[in-house]
Structure 1
Amino acid sequence: MRAGHEETVERRSLWTSEPAERRSTPDPVRTAAVRAFILASVAVVLATITVLWMLAGSWLAFPAVPATVLSVVVATWSAVDVWVTRQVWIQRHGIVSGPGSTARALSREHRLARRRARTGARVRPAHRSLPQV
Protein backbone atom coordinates (compact mmCIF):
# COMPACT_ATOMS: atom_id res chain seq x y z
CA MET A 1 0.00 0.00 0.00
CA ARG A 2 1.21 3.43 -0.81
CA ALA A 3 1.22 6.25 1.71
CA GLY A 4 -1.84 8.45 1.41
CA HIS A 5 -3.76 5.81 -0.48
CA GLU A 6 -6.08 3.85 1.75
CA GLU A 7 -7.80 0.76 0.51
CA THR A 8 -10.71 -0.77 2.23
CA VAL A 9 -9.95 -4.37 2.82
CA GLU A 10 -12.93 -6.55 3.49
CA ARG A 11 -12.01 -9.26 5.96
CA ARG A 12 -13.82 -12.53 5.73
CA SER A 13 -14.23 -14.73 8.74
CA LEU A 14 -12.53 -18.08 8.62
CA TRP A 15 -15.39 -19.64 10.56
CA THR A 16 -19.06 -19.08 9.93
CA SER A 17 -21.66 -20.59 12.21
CA GLU A 18 -24.62 -22.20 10.56
CA PRO A 19 -27.69 -23.53 12.31
CA ALA A 20 -27.60 -27.27 12.85
CA GLU A 21 -29.97 -29.41 10.83
CA ARG A 22 -30.47 -31.81 13.73
CA ARG A 23 -30.35 -31.42 17.48
CA SER A 24 -27.10 -32.50 19.06
CA THR A 25 -26.96 -35.69 21.07
CA PRO A 26 -27.48 -35.19 24.81
CA ASP A 27 -24.30 -35.33 26.90
CA PRO A 28 -24.98 -38.65 28.71
CA VAL A 29 -25.77 -40.37 25.41
CA ARG A 30 -22.69 -38.87 23.76
CA THR A 31 -20.52 -40.03 26.66
CA ALA A 32 -21.90 -43.57 26.42
CA ALA A 33 -21.35 -43.57 22.65
CA VAL A 34 -17.73 -42.45 22.97
CA ARG A 35 -17.11 -45.12 25.62
CA ALA A 36 -18.71 -47.77 23.38
CA PHE A 37 -16.59 -46.68 20.43
CA ILE A 38 -13.37 -46.87 22.44
CA LEU A 39 -14.25 -50.30 23.84
CA ALA A 40 -15.21 -51.60 20.39
CA SER A 41 -11.92 -50.28 18.99
CA VAL A 42 -9.97 -52.04 21.72
CA ALA A 43 -11.89 -55.27 21.01
CA VAL A 44 -11.09 -55.09 17.28
CA VAL A 45 -7.39 -54.41 17.92
CA LEU A 46 -7.22 -57.23 20.46
CA ALA A 47 -8.97 -59.64 18.07
CA THR A 48 -6.53 -58.72 15.30
CA ILE A 49 -3.53 -59.25 17.54
CA THR A 50 -4.95 -62.58 18.73
CA VAL A 51 -5.44 -63.81 15.15
CA LEU A 52 -1.90 -62.78 14.23
CA TRP A 53 -0.48 -64.58 17.30
CA MET A 54 -2.48 -67.69 16.45
CA LEU A 55 -1.17 -67.63 12.86
CA ALA A 56 2.37 -67.22 14.17
CA GLY A 57 1.92 -70.09 16.62
CA SER A 58 2.83 -67.97 19.61
CA TRP A 59 2.03 -69.10 23.15
CA LEU A 60 0.54 -65.62 23.77
CA ALA A 61 -2.49 -66.60 21.68
CA PHE A 62 -3.71 -68.88 24.48
CA PRO A 63 -4.39 -66.13 27.07
CA ALA A 64 -5.38 -63.68 24.36
CA VAL A 65 -8.40 -65.72 23.18
CA PRO A 66 -10.38 -65.42 26.46
CA ALA A 67 -9.38 -61.77 26.70
CA THR A 68 -10.70 -61.20 23.18
CA VAL A 69 -13.97 -62.93 23.96
CA LEU A 70 -14.34 -60.86 27.12
CA SER A 71 -13.58 -57.62 25.27
CA VAL A 72 -16.21 -58.43 22.62
CA VAL A 73 -18.79 -59.07 25.36
CA VAL A 74 -17.89 -55.77 27.05
CA ALA A 75 -18.07 -53.89 23.72
CA THR A 76 -21.50 -55.39 23.02
CA TRP A 77 -22.68 -54.46 26.50
CA SER A 78 -21.48 -50.88 25.98
CA ALA A 79 -23.39 -50.66 22.70
CA VAL A 80 -26.54 -51.77 24.53
CA ASP A 81 -25.70 -49.15 27.18
CA VAL A 82 -25.83 -46.43 24.53
CA TRP A 83 -29.31 -47.53 23.52
CA VAL A 84 -30.54 -47.76 27.12
CA THR A 85 -29.04 -44.37 28.02
CA ARG A 86 -30.76 -42.79 25.03
CA GLN A 87 -34.11 -44.32 25.96
CA VAL A 88 -33.79 -43.21 29.59
CA TRP A 89 -32.86 -39.66 28.52
CA ILE A 90 -35.87 -39.48 26.21
CA GLN A 91 -38.14 -40.80 28.96
CA ARG A 92 -36.87 -38.33 31.55
CA HIS A 93 -36.72 -35.25 29.36
CA GLY A 94 -39.79 -35.76 27.23
CA ILE A 95 -40.30 -36.52 23.63
CA VAL A 96 -38.75 -34.52 20.86
CA SER A 97 -41.73 -33.25 18.97
CA GLY A 98 -42.99 -30.43 16.87
CA PRO A 99 -45.02 -27.53 18.27
CA GLY A 100 -48.31 -29.05 17.12
CA SER A 101 -47.75 -32.36 18.82
CA THR A 102 -50.77 -34.12 20.28
CA ALA A 103 -48.70 -35.39 23.18
CA ARG A 104 -47.61 -31.88 24.10
CA ALA A 105 -51.20 -30.58 24.04
CA LEU A 106 -52.37 -33.50 26.20
CA SER A 107 -49.55 -32.89 28.66
CA ARG A 108 -50.52 -29.19 28.81
CA GLU A 109 -54.14 -30.12 29.60
CA HIS A 110 -53.05 -32.47 32.40
CA ARG A 111 -50.77 -29.80 33.84
CA LEU A 112 -53.57 -27.20 33.82
CA ALA A 113 -56.00 -29.66 35.43
CA ARG A 114 -53.50 -30.39 38.23
CA ARG A 115 -52.92 -26.68 38.74
CA ARG A 116 -56.68 -26.01 38.96
CA ALA A 117 -57.07 -28.88 41.44
CA ARG A 118 -54.28 -27.50 43.64
CA THR A 119 -55.64 -23.94 43.66
CA GLY A 120 -59.16 -25.25 44.31
CA ALA A 121 -57.93 -27.25 47.31
CA ARG A 122 -56.20 -24.17 48.75
CA VAL A 123 -59.17 -21.82 48.30
CA ARG A 124 -61.84 -24.18 49.66
CA PRO A 125 -62.25 -23.77 53.44
CA ALA A 126 -61.53 -26.89 55.40
CA HIS A 127 -64.35 -26.69 58.01
CA ARG A 128 -66.25 -29.61 59.38
CA SER A 129 -69.73 -29.61 60.74
CA LEU A 130 -69.91 -30.30 64.42
CA PRO A 131 -71.62 -33.53 65.42
CA GLN A 132 -75.20 -33.10 66.57
CA VAL A 133 -75.75 -34.01 70.22
Structure 2
Amino acid sequence: MGTAERSRASEESVAGRSVVRQVRGAPDRDIPGPARTSELTDGEQLEIARPLWVEEPARRHPLPDPVRTAAVRAVIVIAVTLIQAMVAFLCTLAGSWLAFPMVISAVASTVLATWAVVDVWVTRQVWNQRNGVVSEPSSTARTLRRERRARRRQERAAVRAQGRIRGRGAGQLSHS
Protein backbone atom coordinates (compact mmCIF):
# COMPACT_ATOMS: atom_id res chain seq x y z
CA MET A 1 0.00 0.00 0.00
CA GLY A 2 1.56 3.32 -1.08
CA THR A 3 1.58 6.62 0.77
CA ALA A 4 -1.45 7.96 -1.09
CA GLU A 5 -3.51 4.84 -0.38
CA ARG A 6 -2.46 4.85 3.28
CA SER A 7 -3.41 8.52 3.60
CA ARG A 8 -6.78 7.95 1.93
CA ALA A 9 -7.48 4.91 4.14
CA SER A 10 -6.68 6.86 7.33
CA GLU A 11 -8.90 9.76 6.23
CA GLU A 12 -11.79 7.41 5.55
CA SER A 13 -11.42 5.71 8.93
CA VAL A 14 -11.27 9.08 10.73
CA ALA A 15 -14.27 10.37 8.80
CA GLY A 16 -16.17 7.17 9.55
CA ARG A 17 -15.45 7.44 13.26
CA SER A 18 -16.43 11.09 13.51
CA VAL A 19 -19.92 10.80 12.02
CA VAL A 20 -22.32 12.23 14.54
CA ARG A 21 -25.77 10.73 14.95
CA GLN A 22 -28.46 12.93 16.31
CA VAL A 23 -32.08 12.18 17.19
CA ARG A 24 -34.65 14.74 16.03
CA GLY A 25 -35.21 17.33 18.70
CA ALA A 26 -31.61 17.26 19.94
CA PRO A 27 -30.11 20.65 20.86
CA ASP A 28 -27.59 20.59 17.96
CA ARG A 29 -30.18 20.48 15.18
CA ASP A 30 -29.29 23.96 14.00
CA ILE A 31 -25.83 22.94 12.73
CA PRO A 32 -25.75 23.74 9.01
CA GLY A 33 -24.81 21.24 6.34
CA PRO A 34 -26.45 18.47 4.37
CA ALA A 35 -27.78 15.71 6.54
CA ARG A 36 -29.35 12.35 5.75
CA THR A 37 -32.29 11.02 7.68
CA SER A 38 -33.40 7.50 8.16
CA GLU A 39 -36.52 6.01 9.77
CA LEU A 40 -36.24 4.04 12.96
CA THR A 41 -38.65 1.23 13.83
CA ASP A 42 -40.97 3.26 16.09
CA GLY A 43 -41.37 6.23 13.75
CA GLU A 44 -38.53 8.39 15.13
CA GLN A 45 -36.17 9.81 12.59
CA LEU A 46 -32.42 9.53 13.00
CA GLU A 47 -30.44 12.37 11.49
CA ILE A 48 -26.85 11.64 10.47
CA ALA A 49 -24.96 14.93 10.18
CA ARG A 50 -21.69 15.33 8.35
CA PRO A 51 -18.70 15.84 10.65
CA LEU A 52 -17.74 19.36 11.64
CA TRP A 53 -14.07 18.65 10.88
CA VAL A 54 -11.89 15.84 9.67
CA GLU A 55 -8.63 15.21 11.49
CA GLU A 56 -5.57 15.36 9.29
CA PRO A 57 -2.12 14.11 10.22
CA ALA A 58 0.43 16.77 11.12
CA ARG A 59 2.63 17.79 8.21
CA ARG A 60 5.59 18.85 10.31
CA HIS A 61 7.09 17.35 13.41
CA PRO A 62 6.42 19.22 16.64
CA LEU A 63 9.18 21.30 18.17
CA PRO A 64 11.59 19.49 20.48
CA ASP A 65 10.90 20.05 24.18
CA PRO A 66 13.79 22.47 24.93
CA VAL A 67 12.92 24.60 21.91
CA ARG A 68 9.22 24.60 22.81
CA THR A 69 10.07 25.64 26.38
CA ALA A 70 12.24 28.51 25.14
CA ALA A 71 9.51 29.58 22.69
CA VAL A 72 6.82 29.63 25.39
CA ARG A 73 9.12 31.62 27.66
CA ALA A 74 9.78 34.10 24.85
CA VAL A 75 6.07 34.55 24.11
CA ILE A 76 5.33 35.24 27.79
CA VAL A 77 8.17 37.76 28.05
CA ILE A 78 7.06 39.51 24.85
CA ALA A 79 3.45 39.68 26.09
CA VAL A 80 4.55 41.22 29.40
CA THR A 81 6.75 43.69 27.51
CA LEU A 82 3.86 44.79 25.32
CA ILE A 83 1.63 45.26 28.36
CA GLN A 84 4.34 47.31 30.10
CA ALA A 85 4.79 49.48 27.02
CA MET A 86 1.05 50.07 26.80
CA VAL A 87 0.82 50.96 30.51
CA ALA A 88 3.82 53.31 30.14
CA PHE A 89 2.13 55.01 27.17
CA LEU A 90 -1.18 55.41 29.01
CA CYS A 91 0.55 56.71 32.16
CA THR A 92 2.42 59.24 30.01
CA LEU A 93 -0.85 60.42 28.44
CA ALA A 94 -2.44 60.72 31.88
CA GLY A 95 0.55 62.60 33.30
CA SER A 96 0.98 60.09 36.11
CA TRP A 97 4.12 59.86 38.24
CA LEU A 98 4.23 56.16 37.30
CA ALA A 99 5.10 57.00 33.67
CA PHE A 100 8.87 57.28 34.16
CA PRO A 101 9.34 53.99 36.08
CA MET A 102 7.11 52.19 33.57
CA VAL A 103 9.13 53.52 30.62
CA ILE A 104 12.35 52.35 32.27
CA SER A 105 10.90 48.90 32.99
CA ALA A 106 9.52 48.69 29.42
CA VAL A 107 13.00 49.39 28.02
CA ALA A 108 14.50 46.72 30.29
CA SER A 109 11.76 44.30 29.25
CA THR A 110 12.50 45.00 25.59
CA VAL A 111 16.11 43.96 26.16
CA LEU A 112 14.88 40.84 27.96
CA ALA A 113 12.42 40.05 25.15
CA THR A 114 15.20 40.33 22.58
CA TRP A 115 17.29 37.97 24.68
CA ALA A 116 14.38 35.50 24.86
CA VAL A 117 13.96 35.48 21.07
CA VAL A 118 17.69 34.94 20.57
CA ASP A 119 17.49 32.15 23.16
CA VAL A 120 14.87 30.36 21.07
CA TRP A 121 17.07 30.59 17.99
CA VAL A 122 20.22 29.43 19.83
CA THR A 123 18.36 26.59 21.57
CA ARG A 124 17.05 25.36 18.24
CA GLN A 125 20.50 25.48 16.65
CA VAL A 126 22.07 23.63 19.59
CA TRP A 127 19.35 20.98 19.58
CA ASN A 128 19.78 20.44 15.84
CA GLN A 129 23.53 20.15 16.23
CA ARG A 130 23.42 17.71 19.17
CA ASN A 131 20.61 15.49 17.97
CA GLY A 132 21.46 15.46 14.30
CA VAL A 133 19.17 16.87 11.70
CA VAL A 134 18.39 14.65 8.76
CA SER A 135 20.04 16.46 5.89
CA GLU A 136 20.30 15.35 2.33
CA PRO A 137 23.45 16.38 0.53
CA SER A 138 23.01 18.36 -2.62
CA SER A 139 23.55 16.66 -5.94
CA THR A 140 26.84 18.51 -6.51
CA ALA A 141 28.21 17.39 -3.15
CA ARG A 142 27.14 13.83 -3.90
CA THR A 143 28.86 13.94 -7.30
CA LEU A 144 32.10 15.31 -5.83
CA ARG A 145 32.10 12.62 -3.14
CA ARG A 146 31.53 9.93 -5.75
CA GLU A 147 34.45 11.23 -7.84
CA ARG A 148 36.73 11.30 -4.76
CA ARG A 149 35.84 7.70 -3.90
CA ALA A 150 36.53 6.57 -7.47
CA ARG A 151 39.91 8.35 -7.45
CA ARG A 152 40.85 6.69 -4.11
CA ARG A 153 39.81 3.28 -5.46
CA GLN A 154 42.04 3.78 -8.50
CA GLU A 155 44.97 4.82 -6.31
CA ARG A 156 44.54 1.76 -4.06
CA ALA A 157 44.28 -0.53 -7.10
CA ALA A 158 47.48 0.99 -8.53
CA VAL A 159 49.31 0.46 -5.21
CA ARG A 160 48.09 -3.17 -5.05
CA ALA A 161 49.17 -3.82 -8.63
CA GLN A 162 52.59 -2.31 -7.92
CA GLY A 163 52.92 -4.52 -4.84
CA ARG A 164 52.08 -7.65 -6.85
CA ILE A 165 54.68 -6.84 -9.47
CA ARG A 166 57.39 -6.38 -6.81
CA GLY A 167 56.27 -9.50 -4.96
CA ARG A 168 56.81 -11.72 -8.02
CA GLY A 169 60.43 -10.82 -8.07
CA ALA A 170 60.49 -8.93 -11.33
CA GLY A 171 63.96 -8.83 -12.87
CA GLN A 172 65.10 -12.15 -11.37
CA LEU A 173 65.97 -14.94 -13.77
CA SER A 174 65.74 -17.77 -11.28
CA HIS A 175 64.05 -18.52 -7.95
CA SER A 176 67.24 -18.90 -6.00
TM superposition score normalised by structure 2: 0.48
Greater relative contact order structure (CA < 8 Å, 6+ sep): 1
Q: Quick check: 2:70–2:119 contact (8 Å CA) kept in 1?
A: yes
Match of 2:126 among 73, 80, 88: 88
Asked if 1:66 corresponds to 2:104, the answer is yes
Deviations along 1:48-86, one digit per CA (max 9) or x if unpaired, are 110110111100112112111111111110000000000
Gaps of 5+ in 2: 1-38, 146-176
Using the TM superposition, name which of 20-29 and 8-17 deviates more: 8-17
Q: What RMSD over aligned residues (CA atoms) do the two structures have, in Å?
A: 3.0
C-alpha separation in 2, matches of 1:38 and 1:60: 23
- Partner AA of 1:72 in structure 2: T
Q: Quick check: 2:40–2:46 contact (8 Å CA) kept in 1?
A: no
Deviation at 1:91, TM superposition (A): 0.4
Deviation at 1:20, TM superposition (A): 1.8
Rg larger in structure: 2
Gaps of 5+ in 1: 107-133
How many residue pairs match? The answer is 102
Identity, % of aligned positions: 52
Deviation at 1:3, TM superposition (A): 3.7
Match of 2:89 among 51, 54, 65: 51
Alignment of 1:1-133 (within 5 A): 2-3=40-41, 16-97=54-135, 101-102=136-137
Detail structure 1 runs of 4+ shifted over 6 Å in the superposition: 7-15
C-alpha separation in 2, matches of 1:2 and 1:94: 59
Q: Decide whether aligned partners of structure 1 residues 61 and 9 sit closer, same or farther in structure 2, where only a CA change above 3 A counts.
A: closer
C-alpha separation in 2, matches of 1:14 and 1:38: 32
- Partner AA of 1:22 in structure 2: R
TM superposition score normalised by structure 1: 0.63
C-alpha separation in 1, matches of 2:92 and 2:46: 69
Higher strand share: 2
